[in-house]
């Protein structure tokens, strides 16, 4: 099911089948001056991205899958086909079934069609990098940038270990220190102004080596390196498995959460590069673990549990993206409480009484 069924350029939306991948969609849209903004890096299917509630690098500006799906069609376990909403930009008609289905991880129905919100390709795009003396300083620059209302399109953190990995994998020579990688969208004058404003904030936070480019080849090289960060991280410890975990906290708690994670990793002697979509308060640790060593596996699981609890205690979530799946099912109740679990279980049983769709996922049967 990989057909693009409609592109309604005047309304800035498109209707697609779930097997369309985001790169195929954006290639198809190129001549319309529009693009689909959600970019998790991987060339995932739109259906999979909807089912997992994906986001990624530019959610800070354009939102997540939850913000960019206007309506969808799904087949319920009963065989009934439902349409969750019209193509209108907003609606107050009934329950928000679209958002119920987005992020439901295949537990409620099979999505067969999606109406997506599209955005205008910006007139100008620029990318910037800036190094910092610590992740705390970098996070503080992010906090001020967001509080200041600077409309960054992407603002990504790489800790020093991740920069080392990216340099080796993507043949770059970035300074091996915590790094912020940014993108600005707007008019020619607008992107220059935004970059300059960020440069001033960064400098106040101890940032050094601020560079800014509008050249497409340079921007693409930087973002390709960011998108390859996972593969680069794996190369730091050949033979190890990468256990990736992400949390998301209110942006004001970002520096505290990332710093605490780094301290704990260092004191446990664990190798785990950190990258983050930090404009949203979201970051990932890639724990490089020898899966033949049970002590290391236990240590990694302890760390993941500790980090989830820390994020929840800061008013955050155990998963900003990637979803609950099976691995994080035990944290869902801790985050939302028993009332929300009872409500989710009632929804699951009401729609899927025989438990035939992804039973056990998200802790729901």
Ligand X SMILES: Cc1cc2nc3c(=O)[nH]c(=O)nc-3n(C[C@H](O)[C@H](O)[C@H](O)COP(=O)(O)OP(=O)(O)OC[C@H]3O[C@@H](n4cnc5c(N)ncnc54)[C@H](O)[C@@H]3O)c2cc1C
Q: Which residues sit at the interface with ligand X, rule CB under 6 A? A: 18, 40-42, 44-45, 47-49, 51-52, 54-56, 105-106, 110-111, 230, 321-322, 358
Between helix 254-268 and helix 294-313 the angle, nearest 10°, is 160
110 vs 329, beta carbon nearer ligand X: 110
18 vs 178, beta carbon nearer ligand X: 18
50 vs 137, beta carbon nearer ligand X: 50
SS3 316: coil
Q: Give min distance, CB of 335 to ligand X, in A.
A: 18
63 vs 106, beta carbon nearer ligand X: 106
Q: Give min distance, CB of 195 to ligand X, in A.
A: 23
Q: Give min distance, CB of 348 to ligand X, in A.
A: 14
Contacts (Cβ under 8 Å, ≥6 apart) of 292: none
Helices and strands in the chain, H and E counts: 14, 14
Q: Give min distance, CB of 361 to ligand X, in A.
A: 7
C-alpha–C-alpha distance, residues 183 and 56, integer Å: 13
Query: Among 136, 211, 121, 149, which Cα is nearest to 175's?
Result: 211
Q: Give min distance, CB of 101 to ligand X, in A.
A: 8
CA distances to 25, 26, 214 from 29, rounded to whole Å, are 6, 5, 22
Q: Give min distance, CB of 211 to ligand X, in A.
A: 24
Q: Which residue has the tokens 């989830």?
A: 308
48 vs 363, beta carbon nearer ligand X: 48
13 vs 280, beta carbon nearer ligand X: 280
Query: Among 254, 242, 19, 269, which Cα is nearest to 146's?
Result: 254
DSSP string spanning 298-337?
HHHHHHHHHHHHHHHHTT-BS-SSS--TTTTHHHHHHHH-
Q: Which residue has the tokens 């190369």?
A: 235
Q: Give min distance, CB of 225 to ligand X, in A.
A: 13
C-alpha–C-alpha distance, residues 3 and 359, integer Å: 29
54 vs 307, beta carbon nearer ligand X: 54
Are residues 289 and 241 in contact, defined by beta-carbon separation less than 8 angstroms? yes
Q: Phi, psi at residue 158, to the nearest 5°?
A: -125, 125
Q: Give min distance, CB of 41 to ligand X, in A.
A: 4
Are residues 149 and 195 in contact, defined by beta-carbon separation less than 8 angstroms? no
C-alpha–C-alpha distance, residues 127 and 195, integer Å: 8
52 vs 194, beta carbon nearer ligand X: 52
**Pairing label, strands 282-289, 179-186:** unpaired
DSSP string spanning 21-52?
BHHHHHHHHGGGTEE-----SS--BHHHHHHH
Q: Give min distance, CB of 358 to ligand X, in A.
A: 6
56 vs 178, beta carbon nearer ligand X: 56
Q: Give min distance, CB of 192 to ligand X, in A.
A: 28
C-alpha–C-alpha distance, residues 173 and 212, integer Å: 16
State which residue has the least CB distance to ligand X.
48
19 vs 175, beta carbon nearer ligand X: 19
């Amino acid at each position: 099911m990989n057909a693009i069924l409609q592109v309604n350029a005047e309304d800035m939306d498109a209707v697609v089948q779930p097997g369309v991948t985001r790169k195929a969609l954006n290639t198809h849209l190129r001549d319309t001056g529009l693009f689909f903004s959600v970019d998790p890096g991987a060339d995932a299917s739109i259906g999979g991205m909807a089912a997992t509630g994906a986001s990624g690098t530019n959610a800070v500006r354009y939102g997540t899958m939850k913000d960019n799906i206007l309506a969808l069609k799904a087949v319920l376990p009963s065989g009934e086909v439902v349409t969750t909403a019209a193509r209108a930009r907003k609606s107050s008609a009934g329950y928000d079934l679209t958002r119920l289905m987005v992020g439901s991880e295949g537990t409620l129905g099979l999505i067969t069609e999606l109406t997506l919100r599209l955005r205008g390709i910006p007139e100008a795009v620029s990318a910037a990098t800036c190094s910092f003396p610590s992740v705390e300083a970098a996070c503080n620059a992010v906090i001020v940038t967001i509080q200041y209302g600077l409309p960054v399109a992407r603002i990504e953190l790489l800790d020093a270990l991740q920069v080392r990995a990216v340099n080796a994998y993507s043949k770059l020579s970035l300074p091996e220190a915590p790094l912020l990688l940014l993108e600005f969208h707007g008019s020619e004058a607008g992107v220059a102004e935004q970059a300059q404003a960020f440069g001033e904030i960064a400098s106040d936070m101890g940032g050094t080596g601020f560079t800014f480019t509008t050249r497409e080849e340079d921007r693409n090289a930087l973002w390709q390196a960011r998108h390859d960060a996972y593969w680069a991280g794996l190369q730091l410890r050949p033979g190890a498995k990468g256990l990736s975990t992400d949390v998301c906290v209110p942006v004001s708690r970002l520096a505290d959460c990332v710093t605490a994670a780094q301290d704990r990793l260092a004191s446990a002697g664990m190798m785990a590069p950190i990258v983050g979509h930090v404009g949203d308060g979201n970051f990932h640790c890639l724990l490089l673990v020898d899966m033949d060593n049970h002590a290391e596996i236990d240590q990694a699981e302890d760390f993941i549990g500790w980090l989830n609890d820390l994020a929840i205690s800061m008013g955050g979530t155990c998963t900003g993206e990637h979803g609950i799946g099976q691995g994080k099912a035990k944290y869902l109740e801790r985050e939302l409480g028993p009332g929300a679990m009872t409500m989710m279980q009632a929804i699951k049983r009401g729609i899927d009484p025989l438990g035939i769709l992804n039973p056990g996922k998200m802790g729901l049967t």
